[in-house]
Structure 1
Amino acid sequence: MRDFLPAEKARRERVLSVIRERYRAHGFDEIETPVMEEYSRLHAGIGGDNEKLAYNVLKRGLDADAIRAAADDPAALADLGLRYDLTVPLARFYASHRAELPAVFRAVQIAPVWRAERPQKGRYRQFVQCDIDILGDASPRAEAELIVATLDAVDALGLDGATVRINDRRMLDWMLDGFGFTAEERPGVLITIDKLDKIGPGGVIGELRERGATPDAVEEFSGFLHRPPLVEYDPYGERPIRSVLPDGAPEAIVSDLVAIGDAVSAARAPGDARIPLVFDPFLVRGMGYYTGTIFELAHPSVDYSLGGGGRYDGMIGRFLGQDVPAVGFSIGFERIVDLLQTADDAAGVSVVLVHDRDVPPRELLAHKAALVAGGARVRLEHRTKNLKALLERAASDGYSAFATVPAGAEVGTLEIKPLT
C-alpha cells in the first residue's frame, strides 16, 4: 500500500479522467459499491485464488475465548471482508438493483481493491481496478463493445498499437476433451498450459508429465503443439481461427469468435485495416468463473498483459437465483500508469507566483484569481534565497510556468515565463 506525492497523484487522476471520458462516450455508466462485502460472498468459490488473498474483517464483540474457539473456522471469526476485485461486488449490486436498471446494463467501476499479496514490483496490496461490464446481453456484440471501448481508452492514453488476445473457455474445454484429459485433472492441466508463453511447448509437456497427467493425452497434446508451422497467416477471421484448432471445432463457438472480429473491425477508423485481435487457442485466464469468451490486452512495449476479462454468465445467478448473461473487461491501471511517464501533457497551464513578503495578500489573491479564472492552476510561493531550488521543486510538482509578483503590480500585467 503506497502514498502518492502531489505530482504523482495528479498524473494518476489525469489518466483516470481519460479512461472515464472514453468509457462514458461508449455509453457506460459509472457506479460505486462499498469497499467491504459479506464474507460469504467473497468466499463463495467464484473468486479463484483471489479468495485466499482476501483481507477478512473480524466480527465485532468477540472475546479472547471466542476467538480461540473459532481459530480453525474463518467463517466463525469474520463476517465481512475487503473486496479483492470489482466483479463480485457488481454481481451483488445487480442482484440488489436489477429493477432500477436497464435490461442491458453497461457499468463502469473504477476503485481500489485489496489483496494480501507478497509485495513486489508491479504487485501491490492496494491497487486500482478499471472495469467495464455488460450485463443482460448474451450476444457477441457485448464482447465487441467492451473490446472497442477498451482499445479506444488505451489509444486515447497514447498507447497506440495495442492488441487483444482472445479465446473461448468452451473451445479450450472441447480441445482438452479431445486430447483425452479427464475432468478431474483439468484444473492442473490448465495451470500448466497457462505457462506456454513463459516455458514453451517443451516445458509445458515436461510439466504435464511430472504432474502425472494422462500419458496418452499428453502425447496427443504434444503432437498438436509440435505441428509444422503455418506458411501464411491471415488477419483475424474464420480461416486463421480454424487453422490453429483441431478438426471439427464447434461451429457455434467459431461463429461467435468471428462475429466479434467482424464487429470490432467495423468500428475501426476509416482506412485502418489493422484488426487488433489475435486468436490464441491456449489463452487460459485464471478465474474459474469464466464460461465463454476470454481476452487479454497486450502492447508491444511490454511482455505482460495490461488487462483482461471474459464472459461469466453463471455468477450473477448465484446471487439472484436467475441466470443473467455477463461479460467484463478490466484495465490494469497500475501497469498502464507506470508506462505513461509523459502523461502530464493534459495538465494545462500551471503557474507559480513568486512574491516577497511585502506584497499585500489582497494583491496576491487578485493576481491568483485572475489566472484561475483564465483556466490556470496557480500556487503562491514566498521568494527564497535559493530561487532556483524553489522553481525546480515547482517543476517536479507539475508546474509549467512562473511569474514574480512585485508590490503594486496591476492585475493582468505579470510576465509569465516557462519553467525549464
Structure 2
Amino acid sequence: MASVNPPRGMRDFLPADKARRERVLAVIRERYRAHGFDEIETPVMEEYARLHAGLGGDNEKLAYNVLKRGLDADAIRSGADDPASLTDLGLRYDLTVPLARFYASNRGQLPAVFRSIQIAPVWRAERPQKGRYRQFVQCDIDIIGDASPRAESELAVATLDTLDALGLEGGSIRINDRRILDWMLDRFGFAASERPGVLITIDKLDKIGPGGVAAELRERAATATAVDAFETFLGRPMTLEHRPFGEGQIRAALPDGAPDDVVADLAGIGAAVSAARGDDVPLVFDPFLVRGMGYYTGTIFELAHPSVDYSLGGGGRYDGMIGRFLGQDAPAVGFSIGFERIVDLVRAADDSGVPAVVLVHDRDVPWEELLALKSALISDGSRVRLEQRTKNLKALLDRAGSDGYTSFATVSAGATPDDLELKPLA
C-alpha cells in the first residue's frame, strides 16, 4: 500500500496550524497593500525553456520538470541523455521568473511603475531537512519600471513595516550592491572568469571567517596576488567608532576609490528609509553580502532579526531579466519575505475578534433545531461548530480550543438562542 505520509519535504497542516498561517498571511497582504502594491497570480507551472534560461542560478537544478504528454517507452529511452527533450513544463522554483514573464505578457494593461504582490507556493527538489522544504510559500513584493533608488527605499520601508505589524519589531536590512562587489574583485585583481567561484567562497565569510575564505580561494587556484590583496584588506585595522548608515560608513568598509554613483545610491536609500521610519536607520552596509542569484545586477539585501541568526528574507535589483522576455530593458527590483521562517516566530494569538462558539448537544436534539441555532449565531457574527457530546467532554473542548474556539454552550432539545449559556473555553 502507498504511504499515508505526505511526500518528503512537504507537509500537511492541521486546522490550528492552517489558521495561524492564514492570520500571518493576512497581515502581510494588508501591509503590502497599504504600501500601494497590488496582488497578481501566475500559474504554478511555466515552460521548461523559461525556467532553464540561465536566470535562476542553482535553483534551476532543483526544478521539478513535467514529462511531455504521450511519450512512449521508446521516446523516453531515446531521450535518456537529454532530459530537456522529454519535458515541456516545470513547477516554478521562485516567483521572480514568473513575474518577469507576466509583465512581458501584460505590460500594456499595467501602470508605468508597477508594484506587484505575489504570495504563493513554489517547489524545489531540495534535500529535506529542518527548515528546508520542497514546497514552501514565498511572499514577494516587486517594483518594475523604476530604475532609481526610490524603488529600493519603498521596498525596504514596506518590508520593515510588515515585520513590525507581525510583532517582530527590531528588524534590520543588510544591504550591498553587486556593482560594489564587481569593483572590489577587479580592484583586488581577480580575473573575470574566476569571479563566480570567488563569490561563492566570499559568501561563506560569516561561517568560515577570513582565514577560511583565503584558504578556500587558494584551494580554488584563484589568482594568488588577488587572494593576498583580499586577505590583507580583511585583516586591516578597524576603528570602533560608531558611524550611522550613510556615505561615511559605506566608504569606511571599502577600499579607497569606491565608485561615487553606487555609494550615493546606497546612501540615498538610507536617507529615504530614515525619513520614513523616523528612527535610527535599520540598514547595515555589508560589502561582502553576495546572495546567490545570478540575475542580480545592482542592490542586494537580506532581512535580519535579533531573535534568530539566519535571514528572514532578501532580494535585489534584476534589471536584465525582463528584457530577456520583452526584448527591451525594464528596471526591476524585489524583496521576498521567508514566510516559513517568519510564521514560526509570530505569536499564535488569534486577534480576529470573531466569537467562536462550540455547541455541544445530546444525540436526541433534533437536527433542524441545531441548524436553526447555528444559523442564528452565525447571523450575529459568530463562528459556530456543532459537536455531539462525548464521554470525555474535556478532550472534546480542549481540541476545540486548540482549533481557535473561545466559548461553548450545551444544547438541549427545544433550546432557543436566548437559552444558551456561553462559557469560556480558557
Normalising by structure 2, we get a TM-score of: 0.96
Deviation, structure 1 residue 206: 1.5
The match for 1:69 is 78
Residues in 1 aligned to 2:74 and 2:125: alpha-carbon distance in whole angstroms: 26
Instruction: Check the 8 A contact 2:175/2:289 in 1, yes or no.
Output: yes
Shift of 1:341: 4.4
**Residues 1:6 and 2:12 are matched in the alignment:** no
CA deviations over 1:117-170 (Å, ceiling 9, x no partner): 111111111111111100000010100111111111111111111101000000
1:376 to partner: Cα distance: 2.1
Offset of residue 258 of structure 1:
0.8
Which residue does 1:104 correspond to in 2? Answer: 113
TM-aligned CA deviation for residue 223 of structure 1: 1.1
Find the counterpart in structure 1 of residue 351 from structure 2: 345
Distance 1:412 1:275, change over 3 A: farther
State the shift of 1:202 in Å.
1.6
2:32/2:158 contact within 8 Å kept = yes
Letter in 1 for 2:403: D
Cα shift at 1:347: 6.0
Post-superposition CA distance 1:393-415 (Å, at most 9, x none): 11122222211122223313422
- Choose the corresponding residue for 2:418, options 385, 397, 412: 412
Q: Is residue 2:286 matched to residue 1:277?
A: no
Structure 2: which 5+ residue stretches go unaligned? 1-9
Aligned to 1:171: 180
Cα shift readout 1:290-325 (whole Å, capped 9, x = no counterpart): 000000000111111010000000000000000000
Q: Give 3-state SS (helix, strand or coil) of 1:267's partner.
A: helix
Matched, 1:299 2:305: yes
Shift of 1:17: 0.7
The corresponding residue for 2:368 is 362
1:101-140 superposed matches below 5 A: 101-140=110-149
8 Å CA contact 1:367, 1:412 repeated in 2: no
Corresponding residue for 1:194?
A: 203
- Which residue of 399, 404, 411 maps to 1:393? 399
Say which SS state the counterpart of residue 314 (structure 2) adopts.
strand
Could you tell me how far 1:281 is from its partner in structure 2?
0.6
Trace 1:235-254 onto structure 2 (pairs within 5 A): 235-254=244-263
Q: Is the deviation greater in 365-374 or in 198-207?
A: 365-374
TM-score, structure 1 length as denominator?
A: 0.97
How does 1:364-383 map onto structure 2 within 5 Å?
Answer: 364-383=370-389
What secondary structure, in the 3-state scheme, does the structure 2 residue paired with 1:322 have?
Answer: coil
Aligned equivalents of 1:208, 1:346: Cα separation in 2 = 53
Aligned partners of 2:411 and 2:420 also within 8 Å = yes
Q: For residue 86 of structure 1, what is the aligned residue in structure 2?
A: 95
SS for the counterpart of 1:296 is strand
Q: Which moved more, 1:54-63 or 1:288-297?
A: 54-63
Alignment of 1:311-330 (within 5 A): 311-330=317-336
The match for 1:214 is 223
Pairing partner for 1:225 from 225, 234, 241? 234
Establish whether residue 156 from structure 1 lines up as the match of residue 162 from structure 2.
no
Code of the residue aligned with 1:22 in structure 2: it is: R
Shifted more, 301-310 versus 344-353: the winner is: 344-353
Does the CA-based 8 Å contact 2:318-2:333 persist in structure 1? Answer: yes
Please tell me the root mean square deviation across aligned C-alpha atoms, in Å.
Answer: 1.2
Stretch of structure 1 that moved more, 390-399 or 111-120: 390-399
Instruction: Please name the residue that 1:332 is paired with.
Output: 338
Residues 16 and 403 of structure 2 are in contact (CA less than 8 Å); yes or no, is this contact kept in structure 1?
yes
Determine if the alignment matches structure 1 residue 403 to structure 2 residue 409.
yes
2:20·2:348 contact (CA, 8 Å) conserved in 1? Answer: no
The whole-number CA distance in structure 1 between the counterparts of 2:368 and 2:194 is: 76
Structure 1: gaps of 5 or more residues? none
What do residues 194-224 of structure 1 show as CA deviations (whole Å, max 9, x unaligned)?
1111111121111111111111111111111
Question: 1:66: how far off?
Answer: 1.2
Query: Is the contact made by 1:22 and 1:152 (CA closer than 8 Å) also made in structure 2?
Result: yes
- Compute the displacement of 1:367 (Å): 2.5
The one-letter code sitting in structure 2 at the alignment partner of 1:316 is I
Name the aligned partner's letter for residue 125 of structure 1. Answer: R
1:37 alignment partner, SS class: strand
Q: 1:146 aligns with which of 137, 140, 155?
A: 155
| Residue identity opposite 1:68 in structure 2 | R
CA distance in structure 1 between the aligned counterparts of 2:21 and 2:353, rounded to whole angstroms: 11
Out of 49, 52, 56, the residue aligned to residue 43 of structure 1 is: 52
- State the alpha-carbon separation in 2 of the partners of residues 158 and 343 from structure 1: 11
Question: Bigger shift: 95-104 or 204-213?
Answer: 204-213
Amino acid at match of 1:352: V
1 CA distance for matches of 2:352 and 2:303?
A: 24
User: Does the Cα contact within 8 Å between 2:291 and 2:300 map onto a contact in 1?
Assistant: yes
Q: Percent identity?
A: 79
**Deviation at residue 353 of structure 1 after TM alignment:** 1.1
Q: 1:33–1:89: 8 Å Cα contact kept in structure 2?
A: yes
Matched position secondary structure for 1:133: strand
Alignment: residue pair count: 417
